[in-house]
Chains A and B, each alone.
Chain A
Amino acid sequence: MNFAFTDEQLALAATVRDVLRAHCPPAALRSERRPGWEQLAALGFFGLLLPPESDGLGLGLADVVPALEETGRACLPGPVVETAVAAPYLVAGAPKLASGTVCVSVLLPGQVYAPDADLANVIVVAGADGLRLVARESARLTPRPGADPCRPLFEVAFEESERLGGSAGPALRRATVATAAQLIGVARELLAVSVAYAKVRTQFGAAIGSFQAVKHQLADVAVAVEFAAPLVYRAALAVDGDAATVERDVSAAKAAAGEAATLAARVALQVHGAIGYTEELDLRFWIARAWSLSAAYGTTAAHRERVRAAVLGGDVRRYP
């Protein structure tokens, strides 16, 4: 057993982090729909989980969890999880998927609207009769109001579609864990930004970060993130290993990550005071992302409910 990321897994994350620092700065969130996307594609990011026969690297979810955290840390817009994590298990054979020139949105069980569907070339929709592939041209998209300006939501209607084999399960599980990983990244960034602000903002002649009421809120965020992250890592391993406990583990991860991120958002706002409550400050992008991702692929409440049903139903198996 070695419950620590390998050097390769961490190196991949560091590369993604550097690329996003350079190509997805906060200013880009205001002006572009998909900043950093091309540069990520050049790295092979969209082929990480694809099998080699589809020009991918055939990595497991656990290999890319730290890199996915970085996409959350950068608040990267666009259907990243859908294209890089879900699509390989829905439309692996789609030409150009590995190169990142095809952009995918999904509407899987547990989702209400398709995120970033306006950017997608294809949308995979789960219906009563299985999975359907809808080309962008055949889809009628109705924008739905949401909390996150960088993750627009759409209702999807269509007449023409292509039937897909397979089931939504494998893609949905991975998208859920990937979203949980992004939430951890969002939470870490919210904490870092709040700590930095608490060191420089002074009131009563002292940095606000020297006041215990501020310190203790930030310490609680640190604890929440610190103990949510291992549940996400474990869920990724459970998915990769097809563990018998996988559904329970995925839900536990998503609920804990969602709660940690929304706590981080709440505290970030409080620590920043009124400036945090403005459109002007970039902070609002991360706050909104914490809300939008905690509602994505099943709300925190829905996942809590699933964990409760499993655990109280007698599934108290530990993994391993």
Chain B
Amino acid sequence: MDLDFSPAEREFRAEVRDWLSTHAPGPLPSMDTPEGFAAHRAWEARLAGARLSVVSWPEEYGGRGASLIDWLIFEEEYWAAGAPARVTQNGIFLLAPCLMRFGTPEQRERWLPRMARGDDVWAQAWSEPEAGSDLAALISRAEPAPGGWRLYGHKTWSSRAAYASHGFGLFRTSGTRHKGLTYFMFPMDDVAVRPIAQLDGLPGFAELHFDGVFVDDSTVLGEVGEGWRIAMATTSSERGLTLRSPGRFLATADRLVTLARRSSAAGAPALADRAARCWTEAEAYRLHTFGTARKIMAGEEVGAAASMGKVFWSELDLRMHTLAMELLGERAGETPWLDGFLFSLAGPIYAGTNEIQRNIIAERVLGLPR
């Protein structure tokens, strides 16, 4: 066991840090506004120009074939530099892993390089009004049509969908519950989109109505009827390290400690103690993730254990932002902490609520009866 980075890893860190120190933009307008969305896409195109938008992808799709450890290093530097949240994250972190594993070569070539450059921005269309935690209850359906399928139904809570160009999601092609679901990747052109304002007042997600939207056969990911299996392959990356790298929590923890030190309330030992504790917990998440990355690199599956990470990071993020609100008091609204706080409140809800994660830990990690 060791924690020493190799010379190549240190060099990579230096390159990333260097590039970001001259190129990382200052704060951009929220990606949930038209100007902000455009600004974020432009930023991601610049990242892609430096081949830094998807470092762990194969070179042919715009990556560098970097190891998971390199990717974690990239993320640490990215968030430490104060660079903006990724507008393409749902595509890059949720769809792409499935596309690499289950997609045809044509599908990969068609979608991945465009995703890496921010040309296409993807939204995840899983949840439905009557299928939230119980995703297998979904009723949106796809009916065969010459040369493809027609999509019918109603999806909701789809992040970025107010402005996204594409969506991916599950539709029923036969059967009930988990059986007979098919995974589609579709352009948003013919989908009726109704933006939904979140707690911050901006249209951070949207509901989607499908009224016989035609999609051709090439939009099916994997086999027809295999959608559930493919989707579940994504959920562990959503819950675990790919969507939520330690980098963002480390950067938040560092800023929190600075805030606690500067704030007049730093004289309050109880608050200072909570700040130090959050900082240590961010470290714990980082170390744990190094261990997980090693396991994945050795060919092990993370599976249900990703639920432990989900509970840990979401509650840590919430604790950090709650403390920042307490430290700042009425001045919180003048800082980015308020937006961060509002978003942290969603952490225990999205990517599978923490109640559902605790059920998974109890049943599939600890082996308790259903």
A residues with CB within 8 A of B: 1-6, 9, 62, 191, 195, 198-199, 206-207, 209-210, 212, 214-216, 218-220, 222-223, 226-228, 230-231, 233-234, 237, 252, 255-256, 304-305, 307-308, 310-312, 314, 316, 318-320
Given contacts A199-B368, A219-B366, A230-B284, 15 further A-B contacts (CB under 8 A): A1-B4, A2-B2, A4-B1, A207-B368, A212-B355, A219-B357, A220-B311, A226-B288, A231-B283, A231-B284, A305-B273, A308-B277, A311-B257, A311-B275, A312-B276
- B328 at interface by CB-CB < 8 Å: no
Q: Is the CB of B291 within 8 A of A3?
A: yes
Would you call B358 and A230 a contact (CB within 8 A)?
no
**Contact of B277 with A304 in the complex, beta carbons under 8 Å:** yes
B365 at the interface (CB under 8 A from A): yes
Q: 0/1 per residue, B332-370, Cβ < 8 Å to A? A: 000000000000000000000001011101110111111
Instruction: Say whether B276 contacts A195, CB under 8 Å.
Output: no
Is there contact, CB below 8 Å, between A6 and B1?
yes
> Which 9 residue pairs are nearest across A and B when measured between Cβ atoms?
A215-B362, A230-B287, A209-B368, A219-B361, A3-B290, A219-B358, A308-B276, A311-B276, A216-B358
Out of B2, B311, B312, B368, name the residue touching A195 (CB < 8 Å).
B368
Considering the complex, give the chain B residue whose CB is closest to the CB of A251. B280
Q: A215-B359, A220-B358, A227-B312 are in contact. Are A234 and B287 (CB under 8 A)?
A: yes
18 inter-chain pairs at a CB distance below 8 angstroms, sorted by A residue, are A3-B1, A3-B294, A191-B366, A209-B368, A210-B369, A212-B358, A216-B358, A220-B358, A222-B308, A227-B288, A227-B308, A234-B3, A237-B1, A312-B261, A312-B275, A314-B261, A320-B3, A320-B4
The B contact surface, by secondary structure, is helix
- Asked if B266 is at the interface (CB within 8 A of a chain A CB), the reply is yes
Q: Once the chains bind, are A199 and B361 in contact (CB under 8 Å)?
A: no
Pair A316/B254 contact, Cβ less than 8 Å: yes
Q: Describe A's contact surface by its main secondary structure.
A: helix
B264 at interface by CB-CB < 8 Å: no
Contact, CB under 8 Å: A207 / B366: no
Q: Could you tell me the distance between the alpha carbons of A56 and B310 in the complex, rounded to whole angstroms?
A: 43
Chain A residue contacts of B149, Cβ below 8 A: none
Pairwise interchain contact B287-A223, C-beta atoms closer than 8 A: no
In the assembled complex, which residues on chain B have CB atoms less than 8 Å from the CB atom of A316? 254, 257, 279
Residues of B263-286 contacting chain A, CB below 8 A: 266, 269, 272-273, 275-277, 279-281, 283-286
B221 at the binding interface (Cβ < 8 Å): no
Task: Report the separation of the CA atoms of residues A21 and B269 in the bound assembly, to the nearest whole angstrom.
Answer: 44
Q: Are B1 and A307 in contact (CB under 8 A)?
A: no
Cβ–Cβ contact B361 & A222, under 8 A: yes
Considering residues B5, B283, B365, which has the most beta carbons from chain A within 10 angstroms of its beta carbon? B283
Q: Is the CB of A198 within 8 A of B6?
A: no
A210 with B370: CB separation less than 8 A = yes
Residues of chain A with a CB closer than 8 A to B283's CB: 231, 234, 252, 318
For residue B4, give the distance in angstroms from its CB to the closest CB of chain A: 6
Give Cα A2 to B291, complex, Å.
8
Q: Decide yes or no whether B260 CB sits under 8 A from chain A.
A: yes
Q: Which of A214, A237, A312 touches B3 (beta carbons < 8 Å)?
A: A237
- Does any Cβ of A come within 8 Å of B194's Cβ? no
Contact with A along B280-314 (1 / 0, CB 8 A): 11011111101100110010000000001001100
Which residue from B6, B9, B276, B359 sits with its C-beta under 8 Å from A212? B359
Contact of A231 among B250, B287, B368 (CB under 8 A): B287
